[in-house]
Structure 1
Amino acid sequence: MPQMNVNPTRMELTRLKNQLAIAVRGHGLMKDKRDELMRRFMDLIRENKELREKVEVELTEALHGVLLAHAVMSREMLEEAVMYPTRRMDIDVKMINLMSVEVPSIKYKEDDSADVSMYPYGFANTSGELDSAIARLHEILPDMLELAQVEKTCQRLADEIERTRRRVNALEYIMIPQLEETIRYITMKLDENERSTLTRLMKVKEMLQERNL
């Protein structure tokens, strides 16, 4: 590892030792953060897998109901039946802090008043298959929103894990070894200068002693 281009002085040595101590402490904290991010990421991945499988099964059943309704109703009647929804839904998306990562939190509120039906049509000209499909889609909506939240959180955590991994590697394999090598170099140079100074002092002392004789 190439050393840093610095002057081999005691002041520089003290500064680099302090910098090394900070780098080592930061490296430990970053490793702990990376490990905790990985733990939470793996938990979310498992949750995401379960949610996705559940949503895919339920969506398949709901779409199957739509296909059955399409088989007994004309396309125009089907489109007209679902064209104007009767219930209002408010979705609130906020960003929350998770291990210094901004992740989404999705909340929704539906107008479930007793006098407002979730079916946006009358029952005279529609099929029971369409009713079942609408009911099933209504049931899986919370799971779909939760799945979107979990998937986006996984994406954000994955990006942060990668950034943290690069920082840990930079500290572990570049910055810390470079600081250690530079500290060894300065220490060696200072010891060498001290020995040279001591040798000169001893030589001067010998010369003074010889002159006094």
Structure 2
Amino acid sequence: MAGTNVNPTRMELTRQKQKLATAVKGHRLLKDKRDELMREFLDQVRENMDLRLKVEEGIKKANAGLVLARAGMSEELLKEALMAPKQEICLKSSRRNVMSVDIPQYEIDMRTSDPNDIYAYGFAFTSGELDSAVRELADLTEDMLRLAEREKACQLMAAEIERTRRRVNALEHVIIPEAQENIRTISMKLDENERSTQVRLMKVKDMVLKQAREAKKKERAS
């Protein structure tokens, strides 16, 4: 029994009541946090699924274009065309806090603003399928970054939801019941001590009255 290991004093009773109040408040706040995290997590999962389908479809189209380009061009010419890219992507990373979870955010910065710099080759000896594949992959860059954000956000939020769930369960099934049991045990022992004290006081009062009566009888006898 949890209450057997606590001192049955009023100071301890006050401490246990404060502990219970703090635990109940923390339990409520953590439940609210868990619910909000779940809502945000489900939004992230839905967006992640949409982005994944879009990216997978785009990569499928780009791969089909590359297959056709490889069929219409020699292997050496294809490698030479893609060997020295003109465009360069700089990746910037930052974070935003969602319910105490630091979610990464990515931004891309192109070295040049010319959209045609994605083509690192001349068009005279390459096929249109290669152009389409390169354009498809370039257009997917932003979506792939968003997908990476959502994937990581889902991982981090799932871990935080699990941590919050364990804390809620610990408060709900261990800390709060233990504090309630301690309060009940201390209150019972204090009530018992108070009743014992009242009984002793009544006995002392009876003894005092008895002594007073005997003293009066002796005075009258004398």
Any idea what SS the aligned residue of 2:106 has?
strand
| CA–CA separation in structure 2 for the residues paired with 1:8 and 1:183 | 9
Any idea what SS the aligned residue of 2:117 has?
coil
| CA–CA separation in structure 1 for the residues paired with 2:66 and 2:187 | 79
Which ranges in structure 2 are unaligned for 5 or more consecutive residues?
214-222
Q: Is the 8 A contact 2:4 2:185 kept in 1?
A: no
Q: Is the 8 A contact 1:52 1:147 kept in 2?
A: yes
Matched with 1:126 is 126
Cα distance per residue 1:8-44 (max 9 Å; x no partner): 1000100110111011001000000000000000011
Identity of aligned residues (%): 55
Does residue 18 (structure 1) correspond to residue 13 (structure 2)? The answer is no
Does residue 175 (structure 1) correspond to residue 168 (structure 2)? The answer is no
Matched with 1:110 is 110
Give, as a single letter, the amino acid of the residue that structure 1 aligns with 2:73: M
Cα distance per residue 1:90-126 (max 9 Å; x no partner): 1101122111111101111113433962200111221
Bigger Cα Rg: 2
Does residue 209 (structure 1) correspond to residue 209 (structure 2)? The answer is yes
TM-score using structure 1 length: 0.96
| CA–CA separation in structure 2 for the residues paired with 1:189 and 1:120 | 85
Matched with 2:84 is 84
Any idea what SS the aligned residue of 1:126 has?
coil
Any idea what SS the aligned residue of 1:117 has?
helix
Deviates more, 1:78-87 or 1:20-29: 78-87
Which ranges in structure 1 are unaligned for 5 or more consecutive residues?
none
Q: Is the 8 A contact 1:4 1:178 kept in 2?
A: no
Deviates more, 1:104-113 or 1:163-172: 104-113
| CA–CA separation in structure 2 for the residues paired with 1:184 and 1:203 | 29
Cα distance per residue 1:147-192 (max 9 Å; x no partner): 0001101111000000000000000000000000001000000000
* Aligned residues: CA RMSD: 1.3
Matched with 2:68 is 68
| CA–CA separation in structure 1 for the residues paired with 2:9 and 2:165 | 34
Q: Is the 8 A contact 1:103 1:153 kept in 2?
A: yes
Any idea what SS the aligned residue of 1:82 has?
helix
Alignment size in residue pairs? 213
Matched with 1:160 is 160
Give, as a single letter, the amino acid of the residue that structure 2 aligns with 1:46: R
Matched with 2:30 is 30
Q: Which runs of structure 2 are paired with 1:43-54 in the superposition (5 Å)? A: 43-54=43-54
| CA–CA separation in structure 1 for the residues paired with 2:177 and 2:207 | 45
Deviates more, 1:58-67 or 1:71-80: 71-80
TM-score using structure 2 length: 0.92
| CA–CA separation in structure 2 for the residues paired with 1:49 and 1:167 | 29
Cα distance per residue 1:183-206 (max 9 Å; x no partner): 100000000000000000001111
